[in-house]
Chains A and B, each alone.
Chain A
């Protein structure tokens, strides 16, 4: 097994890790760093449950090699909460019950967070388009869209 040392900043914390080259960012986050908010769904870049931000951009962490993230800054759903205060998207998801089983929620939150970073005032169709890559098997899309809209208004 080929090993490499990488440095990365995850949710504000600096890490130095020795990892196998065939490890994905998803496995690094969940298994090496025990940040299990990021979910492992399809492992094929289709469901969006593993979405995280790498250098401010949303990516499917199952589709990124951990070694490619040497020097990168990664944000997972755990990093959305600053000083114990929930992020506005998290609050609006709770207020509108935009969560059923919850499996897709971390990916939805990160995709929506990434949308608001690049477009602070998105239309409903912008929100729908931004969440195309996030599947909700409970099919609770309507409330998820409304929760993002509510977060925008707040």
Chain B
């Protein structure tokens, strides 16, 4: 269908020199302003007239926003304006946070990822955001700056609902930082869409596992479900199930069943509720199998 509203509505384009000036502007004009990075969600919403900001504030040039930094002792920091292709091609990210790379590759096509950013994908807070699960399971932390100063918030506490985050008016995310993953950590992100890549996820499952001497099974697993509830679901019951007994195929099946019981999907144009639930079961089982086999191989 030809888009009946192809033009962006009028707005004032604001590009200020410093973070301080930008935050001050956002504070003074909070209700009329939208901050943007790649614009890949913002422009679509504006074209559809779901969003009509008077001011559009560009953040891409701000100091530190384009920096991707890895410290072997501390971990990874990804500036807000670092595009997904930068993240995907960074050796330090590939080596230490491979599931984040895997998930980022699912966002749009190559040329869209030259604009789209990790911070944008997280702040957009779509229930099906591909990078949400891996970012949470790598224990990502949002570095926020706003009228009240700076604060840091674990991504696990960042999402409140579709399009809603804990960001207050005038606040922006400067960067996401990730601690080093636990030694021997293995993980995967599997999702199902209408096409292999580039489509929005109908259901997404992230699984991570690492050796854990305190667990009866010898391993600690974590599971995050996306696109099957208003916000990401961390399946803690499955985590316990996989920690408290020796792992074999039936235990993985049991954990997949728990994940399916925990999800709360909707029916929409892309898939029915029942299909999504089935897919959560199947994807969780496949992801657990993959991670379990990788963990076994290294031990």
Task: Mark A residues whose CB is within 8 Å of B.
Answer: 1-2, 4, 20-24, 27, 40, 42-46, 48, 51, 57-60, 62-65, 67-68, 111, 114-115, 129-134
Contact = CB atoms under 8 A, between A and B. Distances in A.
Contacts of B44: 44-45
B12 interface: yes
Given A43-B3, A48-B109, 13 more contacts: A1-B10, A2-B12, A21-B13, A22-B10, A40-B6, A42-B3, A45-B108, A63-B39, A63-B40, A131-B110, A132-B110, A132-B197, A133-B108
Nearest to B14: A21
Nearest to A47: B109
Contacts of A1: 10
A63 B110 contact: no
B103 to A, nearest CB: 15
Given A63-B115, A65-B39, A2 B11 contact: yes
B153 interface: no
B101 to A, nearest CB: 13
Given A65-B39, A132-B197, A58 B111 contact: yes
Contacts of A21: 10-13, 56
A2 B38 contact: no
Contact of B197 (A42, A43, A48, A129): A129
Interface residues of B, number: 28
B47 A43 contact: yes
B31 interface: no
B7 interface: yes
B8 interface: yes
Q: Is the interface of B mostly helix, strand, loop or mixed?
A: loop
A32 to B, nearest CB: 14
A22 B11 contact: yes
Contacts of A43: 3, 6, 47
Nearest to B39: A63
B245 interface: no
14 contacts: A2-B13, A21-B10, A22-B8, A22-B9, A22-B11, A23-B8, A24-B8, A45-B112, A48-B111, A58-B111, A59-B115, A60-B112, A62-B43, A133-B108
Given A59-B111, A60-B115, A63-B115, A22 B7 contact: yes
Interface in B92-124: 105, 108-112, 114-115
Contacts of B8: 22-24
A2 B112 CA distance: 27
B10 A2 contact: yes
A57 B198 CA distance: 19
